[in-house]
Structure 1
Amino acid sequence: MRILPKEPARTWNNAKKKAIALDMLARYTGCDPSEISKHIVLTNFEYYLERFSKNYKVPIKSGSALKIVNCKKPNISMICFNIGAPMSALVIELVSSIEPAGVVMLGMCGGLHRDLKIGDLFLPMAAIRDEGTSQHYLPDQVPALPTFTIQKYLSQVIVEKGLNYFAGVVHTTDYRFWEMDENFVETLKQEKVGAIEMETATLFITAFACKVPCGALLLVSDLPLKEIKSSKSAKKVFSKYTEIHFEIGIEAMLGLENNRDKVRHFTW
């Protein structure tokens, strides 16, 4: 069992780090941190950012590493942070400097469970930490869990729309082309996970360490054990399924904002 010798510097316990993070947040997003809402939607697909910008007639701003849309009505900011565990951890550390009330990740995943279909909604209740980033934030034995209240809002919106969702465990990995590795595939089958992707565990662990309430809703974009995603199939997913995914994320954030819920007590 690995234990960190002491609590590392975070934006909540180190004024110098907070100042650096605020400066970096401004540089990376191209906007003053005061413009960024306390209710944040994360995505790694520019399509979602463009849709948010178009729907609410707010411009996209670009910095040296991130793209952002800051909307006042609704009071939500959306950040596109690209892909992978390191960027996931970085974006959480940066937004932790403004002490957000809630963060929701709208991402995509490969469906592994036999009942999942392309276009299904996957609500991760836990994530397996098979990446190299989250170990720097909390010991390996700490589970990667979302903030329950945020997942509750997401599930409520889904049900109110008359839709179904699959709740389960997602495997987060930094291993590309794992589909060609028979040993890795066998491990996934033994884990009995529902889906696989590259960010969720890192987001949950980093958010918990940085005292950021965080949840996620994933869209099943492919079924990698049956067929590897292609440009053609990816285009179909964006045209057919992303609109409802986008709507659910925004409505859940609105519910969180309107109710002003205190979503997690970070005291230990």
Structure 2
Amino acid sequence: MTDDTHVNLPDSNGPLILQGGEIVETPAEAADRLIELYEQQVGIIKDRFEKFADGSLDPQDDLHGVYPALTVAIPAEQATMTSSLALGRIASRHLFGTTVTQPALFRQYFMRQLDKIQKRFSATIKVGLSNRPIPLSFALEAATATLTTEQRNQIQNFFFTPNLVSTNDDIVDGKQILNRSGPSPLALFTAERVDYSLNRIRHYSATSPEHFQPYILFTNYQRYVDEFVEWGLEEVKAGRAERLVEPGDRITKADGKPSRDPLEKAPQMPSYHLVRKGNRGVTLVNIGVGPSNAKTITDHLAVLRPHVWLMIGHCGGLRRTQQLGDYVLAHAYLREDHVLDHALPPAVPLPTIAEVQLALTAAVEQETGFSGRELKRHLRTGTVVTTDDRNWELRFEDLAVTLNQSRAIAIDMESATVAAAGYRYRVPYGTLLCVSDRPLHGEIKLPGMANAFYQERVGQHLKIGLRTLELLRSEADAGSLHSRKLRSFDEPLFR
């Protein structure tokens, strides 16, 4: 090993090893050192690739770029890990570690998390290089575009490719609790898992990850997007936001002049970002219809560690007393979406997050002016069914007993998926839907009826979602938003 630029790669699938680490005193020092090391290691890969591309790379050259690593050591007497004794693990200290990618993007996040750790524990923080290689495609996304076919066939002999065996959600899903080799996880996601998702975010949303804000709204209708863009442009023009970012990284600032033309072809899940100073803005994602999209985008946005995400969309009202345009606040979910059953069995309950529920209720009151009995008449709370069958009405006889037993008040195709993903990834979640049809009571959605409904309710519904995020921003500032009920027994130190 030469200084901190060259490391050995024993078993890169084995325990995390910090090589050549150094103790840092402050979160800022740790973040800056991580950025320096990452840029250095990507530079190694870039230099090797340029030599490979022009045929000058020495076949014996084994200098590979690796991910930086961050470890935190805590004295045993300060660690309150409920499962330690049950697993027979007694030691003089508890060591937590994680690999790191794109540290400039996550600088503020790392600093906040490390600051909390230092305030709570007598922690020793070290930064260095890991034994995990950076895949070429993650370091240089368009690297292979200029290569010949022969070079593409040879590239895997000189560079590492993404390791799908280690790119997983084992930490998220609690599978690490029985694996005590090496440091305990410091974060929910490894560097390679984060890189995987950062690339997918660009693909599905057509915007760069750095534009995403920590307060996220999901919707399933384009008209919410139209309202959001109109509102966002007004916020930017008034100086209450720095910029509005649309798909294709189309940026509009206070002068009202977009940086480029709109994309000719919309991405699968277009995202729009109202960027405020201090990363306090709002992102709206149109996930379209269906649980598959909802799972796909939440799998990836989770690595950005948002403060909260909410589902605001339309639903079918299941009770005769509901009217078109009434709101539904989900207190529970019947998961018939099936897309997360392999990772989170339906038997696992999804608890409501009190701070989110209170904020949603308060926002409905403030935006509608309803209170007391009038509020209860137009805001129904209860169980929302999420199905993966858009034509569930055609098999109503098969579902009737289940819907009756669950006391369900509404049905949609995304809400439980978004909530389950929030529970799984420790992101506070909530659902406020608007009744667009009543299929069990003779009111199936028709074009004319839908247009009148949209015109009346979309703007108000979006304002309720935005007002909710304003209220939750105050909770986040006070440190009371991130509920302990989302944490597992052996939870990583980083949120």
Normalised to the residue count of structure 2, the TM-score between the two structures is 0.50
1:7: Cα distance to partner? 6.6
Map of 2:428 onto structure 1? 213
CA contact (8 A) 1:50 1:60 kept: no
CA contact (8 A) 2:428 2:481 kept: no
Map of 1:134 onto structure 2? 340
Match for residue 71 of structure 1 among 266, 274, 277: 274
Alpha-carbon displacement from aligned partner over 1:152-192 (angstroms, at most 9, x marks no partner): 11111112342221110011111222223223234323332
CA contact (8 A) 2:217 2:283 kept: yes
Counterparts of 1:59 and 1:93, CA distance in 2: 22
Structure 2 residue identity aligned to 1:8 = D
Identity of aligned residues (%): 25
Map of 2:326 onto structure 1? 120
Alpha-carbon displacement from aligned partner over 1:97-153 (angstroms, at most 9, x marks no partner): 110001111111111122211100100011101122120231221123443321211
Instruction: Describe how 1:43-54 pairs up with structure 2 within 5 A.
Output: 43-54=219-230
Map of 2:458 onto structure 1? 242
Instruction: Mark the runs of 5 or more structure 2 residues left unpaired by the alignment.
Output: 1-167, 173-186, 234-243, 249-265, 489-495
CA contact (8 A) 1:145 1:205 kept: no
Map of 2:444 onto structure 1? 228
Structure 2 residue identity aligned to 1:210 = Y
Match for residue 176 of structure 1 among 360, 376, 390: 390
Counterparts of 2:400 and 2:451, CA distance in 1: 26
Counterparts of 1:187 and 1:263, CA distance in 2: 33
What secondary structure, in the 3-state scheme, does the structure 2 residue paired with 1:228 have?
Answer: coil
**Residue 267 in structure 1 maps to residue 487 in structure 2:** yes
Alpha-carbon displacement from aligned partner over 1:4-62 (angstroms, at most 9, x marks no partner): xx973548243321210111112222222111101111111111111111112135315
Map of 1:93 onto structure 2? 299
Counterparts of 1:223 and 1:45, CA distance in 2: 18
Normalised to the residue count of structure 1, the TM-score between the two structures is 0.91
- Count of residue pairs the alignment pairs up: 263
**Aligned CA distance change for structure 1 residues 240 and 214 (closer, same or farther; 3 Å):** same
Match for residue 109 of structure 1 among 315, 335, 338: 315
CA contact (8 A) 1:128 1:143 kept: no
CA contact (8 A) 2:383 2:406 kept: no
CA contact (8 A) 2:269 2:286 kept: yes
Map of 1:3 onto structure 2? none
Structure 2 residue identity aligned to 1:217 = L
Alpha-carbon displacement from aligned partner over 1:221-248 (angstroms, at most 9, x marks no partner): 1111012111222212111111211110
Counterparts of 1:233 and 1:136, CA distance in 2: 39
Structure 2 residue identity aligned to 1:184 = L
Counterparts of 1:267 and 1:187, CA distance in 2: 31
Counterparts of 2:336 and 2:422, CA distance in 1: 17
What secondary structure, in the 3-state scheme, does the structure 2 residue paired with 1:25 have?
Answer: helix
Instruction: Mark the runs of 5 or more structure 1 residues left unpaired by the alignment.
Output: 1-5
Counterparts of 1:193 and 1:9, CA distance in 2: 33
**Residue 17 in structure 1 maps to residue 17 in structure 2:** no
CA contact (8 A) 2:169 2:189 kept: no
CA contact (8 A) 2:189 2:303 kept: no
**Aligned CA distance change for structure 1 residues 29 and 183 (closer, same or farther; 3 Å):** closer
**Aligned CA distance change for structure 1 residues 7 and 75 (closer, same or farther; 3 Å):** closer
Structure 2 residue identity aligned to 1:254 = E
Range moving further from structure 2, 184-193 or 44-53: 184-193
Map of 1:158 onto structure 2? 364
Match for residue 405 of structure 2 among 166, 190, 195: 190
**Aligned CA distance change for structure 1 residues 209 and 113 (closer, same or farther; 3 Å):** same
**Aligned CA distance change for structure 1 residues 50 and 60 (closer, same or farther; 3 Å):** farther
Counterparts of 1:146 and 1:19, CA distance in 2: 31
Root-mean-square deviation (CA), in Å? 2.0
**Aligned CA distance change for structure 1 residues 143 and 267 (closer, same or farther; 3 Å):** closer
CA contact (8 A) 2:334 2:406 kept: no
Alpha-carbon displacement from aligned partner over 1:187-231 (angstroms, at most 9, x marks no partner): 323332111111111111111111211111100111110121112
Counterparts of 2:311 and 2:414, CA distance in 1: 9
Which of the two has higher C-alpha Rg? 2
CA contact (8 A) 1:107 1:217 kept: yes
What secondary structure, in the 3-state scheme, does the structure 2 residue paired with 1:134 have?
Answer: coil
